[in-house]
Structure 1
Amino acid sequence: MNIVKRNGQVEELIFSKLKKVIDFACVGYPQCDSLELETALLPHFRNNISTKEIQSTLIRVSVEKTTAEEPDWQFVAAKLHVYDLYKEAAVHRKYGYFGYGDFYSLITYLTDKGLYGKYILEHYTREEIRELGNYIVPERDYLFNYIGIKTLSDRYIIRGLQGETLELPQELFMGVAMHLAMKEKDKLHWARKFYDALSSLRMTVATPTLANARKPFHQLSSCFIDTVPDNLWGIYNTDMSFAQVSKFGGGMGIYVGKVRSRGSAIRGYKGAAGGVIPWIKNYNNTAIAVDQLGVRSGAVAVYLDVWHKDIFDFLNLKTNNGDDRMKAHDIFPGVCIPDLFMKTVQERGSWYLFDPHEIRTTMGFSIEDSYGEEFERRYAECVNNPALSRDEVPAIDIMKKLLASSFETGTPFVFYRDTVNRANPNKHKGTIYCSNLCTEICQNMSAAELVSVTSDDGIITSQVKAGDFVVCNLSSINLGRNLTKEEIAETVAVQMRMMDNVIDLNHYPSKQAEITNQKYRAVGLGSSGYHQWLAHHRIAWETDEHLTAADELYEWINYCAIKASMELAEEKGSYSQFEGSEWQTGEYFTRREYVSEEWKQLQSDVASKGLRNAWLFAIAPTGSTSLISGSTAGIDPIFAKFWVEEKKNAVIPQTAPNLSPENTWFYKEAHHIDQLWSIKAAGRRQRHIDQSQSFNLYVTPTISAKEFLDLYMAAWENGLKTVYYCRNKSLEVEDCVSCSA
């Protein structure tokens, strides 16, 4: 029987060679019998079958054999997939042998083809690149499970214009590491450090960083947030910013709470304003139109305050009932809620809806610029001023509408604005109006302002005063591979440096974003593998032991992050707004009751040496990157111990990480967990997180209205800053890819 090789040559099938490949794939997995693969392959043989088809069949059979009882077949499939990548790369790069080719030759080739940024060759010599190429550890390709290596190879490795394999996994990791290290004084040292952390799957970088680092258009940040002012220029300026962000693969959060409501006056003409919905529909259309070269639609969350007159229309944006002209089905709505509203819901009192434009012109202030006691005082002034128009509604009616939308669509996201702003360590420089697309980012915001437009000899010049246009630079520690305090400390220090370097290396889609990022140097350290970490330590989800563990674990991660940022400040300087911040005054530490000697020393060090980054800690959902690292997503419990992931042209069985008879009872599935335990754990974590966490609620169709309401009340009472999706078991919601870290 003959076979057709990848280079087109025909030769006789030598079964012993094939057996070597199968044995190689099964080594290390005693549960997986190589004979089973050989037997399953036999019916597929025919004369002139291609080696590519043989390999694909082996992979498919291994994937299909993956079960909760025999999870190791997914690693066998992964090794076979890696073998396939090696063969493909050898053919397309023409180096003619199995495994990795010359790294320097690859980089020069990809640079010549315009697939690699020229800056890599400008910052590294041939000898340095070859030294780093020799540092690559090919065996780390065998750390992946099948969906991990398939996700990495399908989405992230560099391919030719015809989809041919050019870059291999470890070359990807080294390329990213080299990019992020290239301006370090000892760039080879840090490139190796970054590579080790990435390639050993101890951490992941954000999806845009993994996809775009080393490439010509290296937009490395995940998510952006803009504030829309109440004028036509500002509304469309945000739309243009969103288009640019979406073009380069980022997601967007947009705050529209300053925009006048439907029926408000324009230049004194009463009833002329159309409200926020028409503008939101514009952003919806931009999300569809700017679709990243057809890869996926843009992603945008739009936030509105619960006191805004348009709140009921806003809560109907994605529901299936009502006037379709008032819908924006591709938008992810979020509601900004003050403490006073939650208290009014508890008391079943009346709530008043206002027009922000009318408040500004009548009262002389913008109520959204305040929080806490000041907000409550200003809100009372508005209620007591008969000159202001308002809609009076029972607060519980708004909450019912919010809950109905959440149950039906998974949204709106919820942003507890007073909790956020009270905990803001940089409140001396601004207000936080809303969060981002995945609800983990909370940073100072302000709108841009058009100063002037001039023309000279046919050249039109616009002068714009930049606002605080929030940028999210993300990375997540994989708790499934950092099981000790020492491992966590080492990995976090590397991550903080990597994220800080992103700020200076980024190709920004908006000049405003660059200005803000340089001003605050904010980063978002997150975590994946949380449920995996609990299962490894045999900690059940619905226990006080879990709450204590969450508290201690995230306090330690926070300590490591602050210490690393302080050391970076000592080396490279503090962020420009450090003076007067709660980091500098020490209020950040006392507010969280960090009173141990270790914490007191760190507080003193921060006060004297500074801090490199204004915000440090934000837990993203890590949907796609946790697949690569083989960990559980973000801080979520597992959806199931065994499930089938539907990917493009593939159905892939998956199991919980390291699933075994010993840990299976500690992998309780999300929809079977009492959500109050999840809320309590999130509250314990939140104390240590200066931004927020992508926290999901998991409910079933049988939940009562009171139970559902109680979950949102409990989230507020336990100090959560945001609530992400409500994941109803009967509802499919789409994760944000951009924020995956």
Structure 2
Amino acid sequence: MATSTPEMENTYFYLNNLVNIPVDGEIPLYYDQEALKAYFEETVEPKTKQFDSLDAKLNYLVNEDYIDPDILNQYSHEFVRSLFDRMKDHHFHFRSFLGAYKFYTQYAMKTNDGQQFLESFIDRVVFNALYLANGDEQLANDVADELISQRYQPATPTFLNAGKKRRGEMVSCFLIDMADSMLSIGRGVNSALQLSRIGGGVGVNLSNLRASGDSIKKIANASSGVVPVMKLLEDSFSYSNQLGQRNGAGVVYLNVFHPDILHFLDTKKENADEKIRVKTLSLGLIVPDKYYELLKTNEPMYLFSPYDVEREYHTPICLH
């Protein structure tokens, strides 16, 4: 039996990399189109499951629990067929290799074993339009027109999940506040796992966690600070992806007046110790107006322990 080689399978990667090598002082954009063509010939077309007709395809997707029949049942069979036909008449094609690659790796519906594609970009457009229009044929037509022309793009979880029987949620973003306790940290990590599982991007505010070196139950230097919690969250988002199609997306926020702010920023340094470095977790800063006032007046800036602030003033340093 003949076997394919990595070189044969990755021609499109090779061609795409050539775009970064100038030819006679110019960027050879034509390599991008060659990579796009090679990607379809080598991967998309051979791995796309073929059907004799649209009816056969829809019946398969419904019977195998890929597409929710309730979405299709809101419309007449004639309308669904006409919408598919009209979208095909647009003769959509991807403008770049990376656009096609991202769609087929992260958005296109695949068989349960992940070995075959079950839909094209046109199919995903139609399923989105049918879902979002909720039975309104004119609205379904309008939404489909906007999507196929790329004048409108739904949020990632919506575009990924619309019409599917087994899916996550349609919403994109969630924000979690962690309080300064192990119970809250545990709940926060679990919430991040669950929200990431259903396709949400999650932001976690760590500003109320006590700083590294703070006391716990009056024992000095007992707290490890925010960095270990960041590592827990990064691992959680990496582990909890949506049915293997969409990697978890997480960001952690910290107030600029938090004593761990420099350690927080150091986690993104290329030469940071692997024990503290975060690679996939995004960072965000909470910057109050007071910070800019101090910059304008060139006054000293002090860092405040959330543990001490709450103990003295009985209120968290960061409420939002």
Q: 1:234 Cα shift?
A: 1.8
CA shift in 2, pair 1:57/1:356, >3 Å: closer
Asked whether 1:231 is paired with 2:181, we answer: yes
Q: Distance in 1 between matches of 2:180 and 2:17?
A: 56
| Cα pair 1:262 1:276 within 8 Å, conserved | yes
Q: 1:293 Cα shift?
A: 5.3
How large is the Cα RMSD of the aligned pairs? 3.7
Q: 1:268 Cα shift?
A: 5.2
SS in 2 for 1:128: helix
Return the letter of the residue paired with 1:138: D
| Identity in percent | 25
| Cα pair 2:212 2:221 within 8 Å, conserved | yes
Asked whether 1:106 is paired with 2:69, we answer: no
Q: Distance in 2 between matches of 1:86 and 1:324?
A: 37
* 2:128 matched residue in structure 1: 176
* 2:5 matched residue in structure 1: none
SS in 2 for 1:368: coil
Which segment drifts farther, 105-114 or 293-302? Answer: 293-302
Post-superposition Cα deviations, 1:199-237, rounded to whole Å, max 9, x if no partner, equal: 112222233222222222143333322111222222111
Return the letter of the residue paired with 1:173: V
CA shift in 2, pair 1:360/1:191, >3 Å: same
Q: Tell which has more relative contact order, 1 or 2 (C-alpha 8 A, sep 6+).
A: 1
SS in 2 for 1:208: helix
Post-superposition Cα deviations, 1:334-372, rounded to whole Å, max 9, x if no partner, equal: 222223223324544322111223212212333434xxx
* 1:128 matched residue in structure 2: 79
Q: 1:131 Cα shift?
A: 3.5
Give the structure with the larger strand fraction: 1
Post-superposition Cα deviations, 1:580-637, rounded to whole Å, max 9, x if no partner, equal: xxxxxxxxxxxxxxxxxxxxxxxxxxxxxxxxxxxxxxxxxxxxxxxxxxxxxxxxxx
| Cα pair 1:225 1:253 within 8 Å, conserved | yes
CA shift in 2, pair 1:204/1:220, >3 Å: same
Give 1:208-247 correspondences, 5 Å limit. Answer: 208-215=157-164, 216-247=166-197
Q: Distance in 2 between matches of 1:315 and 1:64?
A: 32
CA shift in 2, pair 1:321/1:347, >3 Å: farther
| Cα pair 1:181 1:191 within 8 Å, conserved | yes
Return the letter of the residue paired with 2:253: Y
* 2:155 matched residue in structure 1: 206
Paired residue for 2:208, among 242, 249, 258?
A: 258
CA shift in 2, pair 1:362/1:76, >3 Å: closer
* 1:279 matched residue in structure 2: 229
How many residues are paired up?
305
Q: 1:198 Cα shift?
A: 0.5
| Cα pair 2:168 2:242 within 8 Å, conserved | no
| Cα pair 1:140 1:200 within 8 Å, conserved | no
Paired residue for 1:151, among 93, 96, 102?
A: 102
Asked whether 1:115 is paired with 2:66, we answer: yes
Q: Distance in 2 between matches of 1:311 and 1:288?
A: 24
Paired residue for 1:335, among 269, 285, 291?
A: 285
Max radius of gyration: which structure? 1
SS in 1 for 2:175: strand
Paired residue for 2:119, among 167, 171, 186?
A: 167
Gaps of at least 5 residues in structure 1 are 1-55, 96-100, 370-432, 434-741
| Cα pair 1:141 1:170 within 8 Å, conserved | yes
Give 1:337-376 correspondences, 5 Å limit. Answer: 337-369=287-319
* 2:3 matched residue in structure 1: none
CA shift in 2, pair 1:337/1:248, >3 Å: same
TM-score, normalisation: structure 1: 0.36
